[in-house]
Amino acid sequence: MAKLHFFYSTMNAGKSTSLLQSNHNYKETGLDTLIFLPDETSKLSKGKIVSRIGLSAKAIITKKDFDFYAYIKKNKTEKLSCVLIDEAQFLSKIQVRQLGKVADLLNIPVMCYGIRTDFQGELFEGSSELLSLADNLIELKTICYDCGRKATMVVRRDENNKIVTEGSKVVVGGNDIYTPVCRKHFRKLTKLI
């Protein structure tokens, strides 16, 4: 029976690299995959999943009304062996449930990669539902930029490098905006917990 997997972490833990490596492994053995990327990050990456170490792959861009189950059922091939989704935190609750249906009814493994919490320490909608429904929860680890302990959270910085604690939940960016930190330093830097 196929499973729904959630690989989660903070920024800079290698989520996209891990996804791209998994995709490569399937392709190397002659199997098909479908790769998806939520619209929130597609413009910055020009419709590709891109890792910081230079790997990339073209992705199918999805909006909030995209129906994963209907699309995959219609477009699956005989060799379709895995569905891969980057930036899964941006999925809706309904979309996560559709992905569970892909695993359960179409018997195709689904591997989702995403960030667990936002810059305010709150769960993203997609991450919350994946934490509830996924068969496997796999934490990819990275380190706190302040102390070297395991990072579990992320802080957002403005153009003057000051910590931001209010604003839009979604601001797409990389190391120029976000810094992975442990809970202790998140507390110290944001005063939100």
pLDDT in tens, 28-76: 999 999 999 999 876 666 889 988 888 889 999 999 999 999 999 999 9
Q: Does the annotation count 87 as an active-site position?
A: yes
Q: Which of 28, 40, 78, 87 is catalytic?
A: 87
pLDDT in tens, 3-37: 999 999 998 899 999 999 999 999 999 999 999 99
Residues in the chain: 193
Identity (one letter) of the amino acid at 165? Answer: T
* pTM (two decimals): 0.95
Inter-CA distances, 9 with 6, 41, 173, Å:
10, 17, 16
pLDDT in tens, 160-182: 999 999 999 988 888 889 999 99
Question: Which residue do the tokens 């609750």 mark?
Answer: 93
